[in-house]
Structures are given as C-alpha cells and as structure tokens.
Chains A and B, each alone.
Chain A
C-alpha cells in the first residue's frame, strides 16, 4: 500500500513538473513578446530596455530562466512583469473570492442535483422524469458566460433585483457578500446541476434495481423512504468523489468565465488577464496552483478507491 501511495505522489510531482515546463515553454518560445520592454513602461530608451533585460536575466538561456522563475514562484517571490506586484499576494487576495464562488455553486448544484436526481429516479419513465432529463440536458448546454451576462443584465441592471456584479468581502458586510454571490453561484451551478441530477438518477436506479419496483408496490411509502435512505448512501459515494473533483476543477480554472462576467476579481479572472498579457510569472503560478488542486484531488480519490478495492491498485484506472 505504501508503495502505491508513494508511487502516486511521485507521479503527482512529475505531472506538476511537466505542467510547469509546458506552461513556461508556451509563453517563452512561441510568441515574440518581450518582457523587458513591458517592464520598462512608457517611452523607454533602448539603453533602459537593455538594462532591464540584463538585470532580470531575460538574455539568459531558457533553462536558466525557467529554474529562476520556478524558484521565485515556489518561494512566493514571483513578481508580475506588468504590474510589478507580488504574484502570491495577488493569488491569496483572489482566493477567498474564487472559493466563495466555487463553494456556493458546489453546494447549490449538489443539493439541487441530488433532489432532482432522486425525484427523477422515483418517477422514472414518467413525463415528469423526461421533462427533468430535458432540463438537465438544457442546463449543460448553456454557455455559462452567456447565461451569466443575460442574468446579470436583466435581473441585475434592468430590474434591479440583484447588484450589478462585483464582490463584497465578507468582513465588510456578510449580507452584501451573500447578496452579490447569489447570481454568480446560481449561474455556475446551473451548469453542473443537470449533469449531477442525471448521475444521481442513474446511480439510484442502478442501486435500487428491480427490488425497489416490487417492494414499493407491495409495501407502500414508508418502505420507500427506508429504501431510499439505504439506496442513497450507496449510490452517492461515486457522486461525492466526482463532486470533489469538479469542485477542484472549478477552483482551478472552471470559474474563469463566471468571474469575468460578474467582475469578481478572483484567481480565475487574474489568470485570464495575465494570460492575455503574456505575463509569465502569474500564469505559471496560477496554472501550477490549479494543476496542483486537480492533481491532488485526483490522487486522493485514487488512493481512496485503492483502499476500498485492492484489485484496482495494480491495474491502474
């Protein structure tokens, strides 16, 4: 078992290393951006640009630059080429916002996903179930940025039911904090509710199988409730693990579009802006942060499954 865990951890580090190298290469090899120029600001002279290039080591070989940048990023010292601000600080400042958005949405989609999934399972085959399936599919078919923009405009600006976007820190006003998060969380949740409700529905149906049909007809409602409790417990295990992975994915970068539309200034928006500006240190830092989230959660899930099922340990997923 220890060998398995150790193996997984080594794999995790290897993947993160590969991600960092890939990110670094993408931004340094392909475009003809020049960070020295960007840092020099407005109307610099050639000598000024050269001086910055030498100071910051942009004329050194790529491998050397990579090591240096990674050292800075991992040590929390990386600075944005463009704003000169400390990257780690910016990420920490944006993290509570992204987490609030992700957690709020995740709770919403879980609650509604389970509720609608169970409902669909109970009414399997009937019209209401087919309608629910349809709405679930509609949910995953909506582009989140479009939905967010429409909701924000009509519910927010035109009818004044919600704020015009933005984020209020919890410390400033818990009520305003929640108020500003309603639309963004709901928008993000719509995307996942559909998938989760169908997942729950099919898992519940699988678990119950034919016993349910017979027993339910024979015994009546209270039996159904007892069965549901037992059934739910079993069918939700894969759902919960999936929820963890999706939550990680949202924090890692799935929230980018929602954050941009609602101007939440979280990690996702910071990442999107930095990428557009070819600002390598923040991009590296955020990508690693996101990748770490995803890989760590995946590894935890793998280890958990291995603990539960010895057969899986050797063959891999």
Chain B
C-alpha cells in the first residue's frame, strides 16, 4: 500500500527548505506576540500607557518623549522606547508586540471560523444538492457580491455604535469578536466554493456509494467519508486564509473599524503612523514591516504546503487572491 499520503507530503515539505524557513519565521513572530507582556516588563510600560509629557535620559541630558511641537522621539535602541514613541508617548515596540497579538489572534480565529463555516456549507451544499445547494449558493453569491472592504466597513461601523447580540453571544461594541465575525463571514465564499467543488467530485466516487449501500446516513457519510478527503483542500487553503484575514483586519483597522484605539493592531498603528511620516516615519514602517513579514511567511509556507500535497494542482485560483 505504501506510506500514507500525509507522510509523503510531510517529507516533501521538509525538503522545501525555503517554505520551512518561512514557516519558522511565522512561528517566531507568533512567539514574539505571545511574549508581549514580557517585553512590556523589560521596557517598563504597557501598550496603552500614555506619556505625552514625560522625559527620558539621552545624550547626557533629558529629552522630551514628545516635543512641544508634537514630535515623538525616535528609536532609542535600548530597553525603554526600543523603537521610539508614538504621538501619545507610548512605547512603539511594546505596542508592536501587543498589536501582533491582536492581529494574529484575529487572523487565526477568523480563518478558523471561516474554515468551519465554509466546510459546513460546502459539505452540505455539495452532498445534498438541489434546493439545499441552490440556497447555499445564493447565500454565497450574496456575500461574494458585496465588495469585501465595504462589507467589512459597513458591518464594523454599524456594530461599532451598537454592539451585537445573537442569542447567547453578546459582543460589546468595538470588541475583537466583531472583527473576527466580520472577517470570517467575508471569506466564507472563497473557501466554500472549492470545498463544494471537491465534494461534488468526491460524491460520485466508489467509497461514498459503498458507505451509502451499507446504510450509512447522510451526516455519517459526510463526517466519515467526505470530511477526511477534504482535509488536503482545507490544509492547502488554511495558511492563505489566515494571511488574507490578517490583511483584511489591517485594512479594516486602517479605515477605523476593527481594533479601535487605544488598543493596538498593526492596521491601526499603520493608520496613525501614516499621519506622522514626516516627523516620525518609524511609526508606520515598523508595523508595516512586521505585517508584511507575517503575511509573506504564511504565503510562502502555504505555497510549500500546496506543492507538497499536490504537485498537479498548480495555482489554486481563489486561494491567495488579493
């Protein structure tokens, strides 16, 4: 029978050193994000601790953290204010790491939610077909037709004022739960369609027919036979969904919905930073670079995963589309 296809894929992946390197890069970024409170201890201030009128020691004297003209101090390359201060006197490096926490958390959680929803929808639609499929496809079409950013901003703005209560789930306005929900919904069609396509193809295969013949019910067939075979599709799409989610979160925060100040996220840090490019370019450059690093790492690693799992597939369109 030979080795399981998974083990083969894993071996192929390990040989792709670039993909592995970038996978490690992402892991390192995630670890840094987790270690944010540690760095806050070292730097001596929290992410939201403002300090407009403070001073720090420099060049043998004391300088303003934020000058009287509103110019924040640049990178100091030591524990306190390693990467400088922002307009409110907060420590950029500390915020960067806490921002990484928020951005990565939202990205991963949203991608997870998207995966669950998309798998459910794709499975049910592809398996049962007919009117179930029609309804599912129509719902997907409606979400697909909404311009992505507009939908995100629309939901984010509307919810920012009032919050959302769905059954037992109560999301206070501005909580990251809203960001996660919005981003997750937006990407469901991107994943549900390929999954549905897979299910349609798999449905006609012998092992499914065999299971039905043995009297397995619909849900059992779906869970037992189809789901495991969908795993490659899901695994290939997953890193790319996380990458997209992180980018969309940044875009929403940039537009003022999503993670709201004073809480940091890469997106809202870039937003604040772009207003200070003349006097404090480090405010925009630092979060931007970190964001690019994380997303690039995911994209390269995801590319390697796809190559490892199925060389025939080439570019799965719909995956890392902007």
Interface, chain A (partner B; CB < 8 A): 11, 14-16, 18-19, 22-23, 26-27, 30-33, 130, 133-134, 137-138, 140-146, 149-150, 153, 157, 191-192, 195, 198-199, 201-203, 205-206, 238, 242, 246, 249, 252-254, 256-257, 260-261, 271-272, 275-276, 278, 283, 286-287, 290-291, 294-295, 298, 315-317
Q: Are A316 and B146 in contact (CB under 8 A)?
A: no
Q: Are A276 and B147 in contact (CB under 8 A)?
A: no
Bound Cα distance A140, B296 (Å): 8
Given contacts A253-B147, A317-B193, contact A275 B295 (CB under 8 A): no
The interface stretch among B39-47, B116-124, B313-321 is B313-321
Q: Are A276 and B157 in contact (CB under 8 A)?
A: yes
17 interchain pairs, CB-CB under 8 A: A18-B142, A30-B162, A31-B159, A137-B296, A138-B292, A138-B296, A140-B320, A143-B247, A143-B251, A145-B270, A146-B284, A150-B284, A199-B317, A242-B317, A256-B149, A256-B255, A275-B153
Residues of the B chain whose Cβ atoms lie less than 8 Å from the Cβ of A27: 154, 158
Given contacts A15-B141, A275-B157, A278-B158, contact A205 B314 (CB under 8 A): yes
Bound Cα distance A157, B275 (Å): 13
Query: B296 → chain A, closest Cβ, in Å?
Result: 4
Q: Are A15 and B142 in contact (CB under 8 A)?
A: yes
10 shortest A-B CB distances, which residue pairs? A253-B147, A202-B314, A31-B161, A141-B295, A141-B296, A149-B274, A291-B145, A30-B158, A146-B288, A202-B315
Residues of the B chain whose Cβ atoms lie less than 8 Å from the Cβ of A254: 147-149, 322
Report which of A141, A246, A260 forms a contact with B243, defined as CB distance below 8 A: A141
Residues of the A chain whose Cβ atoms lie less than 8 Å from the Cβ of B285: 150
Bound Cα distance A313, B174 (Å): 45
By beta carbon, the residue of chain B nearest A149 is: B274
B227 within 8 A of A: no
Bound Cα distance A198, B295 (Å): 17
Query: Considering residues A32, A157, A203, A287, which has the most beta carbons from chain B within 10 angstroms of its beta carbon?
Result: A287
Residues of the B chain whose Cβ atoms lie less than 8 Å from the Cβ of A286: 150
B133 within 8 A of A: yes
User: Tally of A-B residue pairs with Cβ under 8 A?
Assistant: 176
Contact with A along B272-288 (1 / 0, CB 8 A): 00100110010011001
Q: Are A252 and B147 in contact (CB under 8 A)?
A: yes
Residues of the B chain whose Cβ atoms lie less than 8 Å from the Cβ of A287: 146-147, 150, 154
Query: Considering residues B133, B149, B161, which has the most beta carbons from chain A within 10 angstroms of its beta carbon?
Result: B149
Query: Considering residues A145, A203, A252, which has the most beta carbons from chain B within 10 angstroms of its beta carbon?
Result: A145
Residues of the A chain whose Cβ atoms lie less than 8 Å from the Cβ of B225: none
Bound Cα distance A290, B149 (Å): 11
Given contacts A15-B142, A257-B251, A278-B158, contact A137 B147 (CB under 8 A): no
By beta carbon, the residue of chain A nearest B322 is: A191
Residues of the A chain whose Cβ atoms lie less than 8 Å from the Cβ of B160: 31
Query: Considering residues B137, B153, B254, B322, which has the most beta carbons from chain A within 10 angstroms of its beta carbon?
Result: B322
Bound Cα distance A271, B144 (Å): 18
Interface residues of B: mostly helix, strand, loop or mixed? helix
Bound Cα distance A168, B23 (Å): 45
Q: Are B158 and A26 in contact (CB under 8 A)?
A: yes
Bound Cα distance A206, B317 (Å): 14
Kindly list 10 other residue pairs between chains A and B, CB separation below 8 angstroms, not including A146-B291, A202-B314.
A19-B145, A30-B161, A140-B299, A140-B320, A141-B247, A143-B295, A150-B288, A257-B255, A275-B154, A276-B157
Given contacts A138-B292, A249-B147, contact A32 B158 (CB under 8 A): no
Query: B60 → chain A, closest Cβ, in Å?
Result: 31
Residues of the B chain whose Cβ atoms lie less than 8 Å from the Cβ of A257: 149, 251, 254-255
Query: A165 → chain B, closest Cβ, in Å?
Result: 12
Q: Are A143 and B142 in contact (CB under 8 A)?
A: no
Given contacts A257-B251, A275-B154, A287-B147, contact A30 B296 (CB under 8 A): no
Residues of the B chain whose Cβ atoms lie less than 8 Å from the Cβ of A291: 145-147
Query: B278 → chain A, closest Cβ, in Å?
Result: 7
B71 within 8 A of A: no
Bound Cα distance A142, B295 (Å): 8
Given contacts A27-B158, A30-B162, A278-B157, contact A315 B247 (CB under 8 A): no
Residues of the A chain whose Cβ atoms lie less than 8 Å from the Cβ of B247: 141, 143
Given contacts A143-B251, A199-B317, A275-B154, contact A30 B295 (CB under 8 A): no
Query: B112 → chain A, closest Cβ, in Å?
Result: 21
B211 within 8 A of A: no
Residues of the A chain whose Cβ atoms lie less than 8 Å from the Cβ of B303: 133, 137
Query: B137 → chain A, closest Cβ, in Å?
Result: 7
Residues of the B chain whose Cβ atoms lie less than 8 Å from the Cβ of A256: 147, 149-150, 153, 255
Given contacts A30-B161, A140-B322, A275-B153, contact A16 B145 (CB under 8 A): yes
Q: Are A276 and B256 in contact (CB under 8 A)?
A: yes
Residues of the A chain whose Cβ atoms lie less than 8 Å from the Cβ of B161: 30-33, 278
Query: B114 → chain A, closest Cβ, in Å?
Result: 18
